[in-house]
Amino acid sequence: MAGDGAVALVTGSTSGIGAGVARRLAAAGYRVIVHSRSSTEAGRALAEDIGDAHYVQADLAVDADRSRLVNDAVAVWGRLDVLINNAGISHVIPHQELAAATPDVWHALYEVNVIAPFRLITAAEPFLRAAARDGRSAAVVNIGSHAGVRPKGASIPYAASKAALTHVTKLLAVSLAPGIRVNAVAPGLVDTPLTADWLDAQELWRVRSPMRRPATPDDVAEMVLALVGSDYVTGEVLVVDGGLNLT
């Protein structure tokens, strides 16, 4: 439990995994910064529902907004202890349709899924280091994807962007140690409104995964909280796929 008023910023946290993480961190005693690009009403409602939380809007495809998001988050309570890079975008393209994966698609996915987390960590580093100097646990958790560790996913550019985020996680775990720990969670299929009509994927998880079901947002949030709460683990990528990798 974070009993010292620790502050966590969770990007893309108005629904799905992000909302689950925000709620779980709040329940553990964190003061939470909720974020979205456009769903401002949902963000304010979630922050009010959580209680000790505040909503900030920012477009993570815009570099100035990345810095502003971190600065606005710190301005609320004067500190930042935890950064959860959950926000991301996808683009569905069959893997064999190479021409459809245009440079514009690659650039858009890398801008939000790779560059934005890196720039947010860069902006947050001084505040996270201040937390570490004060004896507090400073942590970053990046939300990757099963597609970043296996040759699958909505598109090749999407999978490649998540694989890049995985490697960035490991590089930063070395670069920012020992004061700041950097880990990642790589979910497989997660049961959210976005995936409600992914019937083939749902069948795959029910039949092939040892746990016989997709993850819930709370399953992922539990792993995020475990990584945030550890004072030792860094550079790890936890695959949360119900054991599908085993089959």
* Residues with a known catalytic role: 158
Distances (CA, A) of 226 to 90, 92, 244: 26, 31, 21
Q: How far, in Å, CA of 196 to CA of 16, rounded? A: 12
Best CA proximity match to 60, nearest among 31, 88, 96, 91: 88
**Token reading at 154:** 């909505």
- Length of the chain equals 247
Phi-psi region of 243 (alpha: psi -120 to 50; beta: other; left: phi over 0): left
Tally of CA atoms within 13 A in the half-sphere of 148 that contains its CB:
25
Q: How many CA atoms lie within 13 A of 101 on its CB side?
A: 19
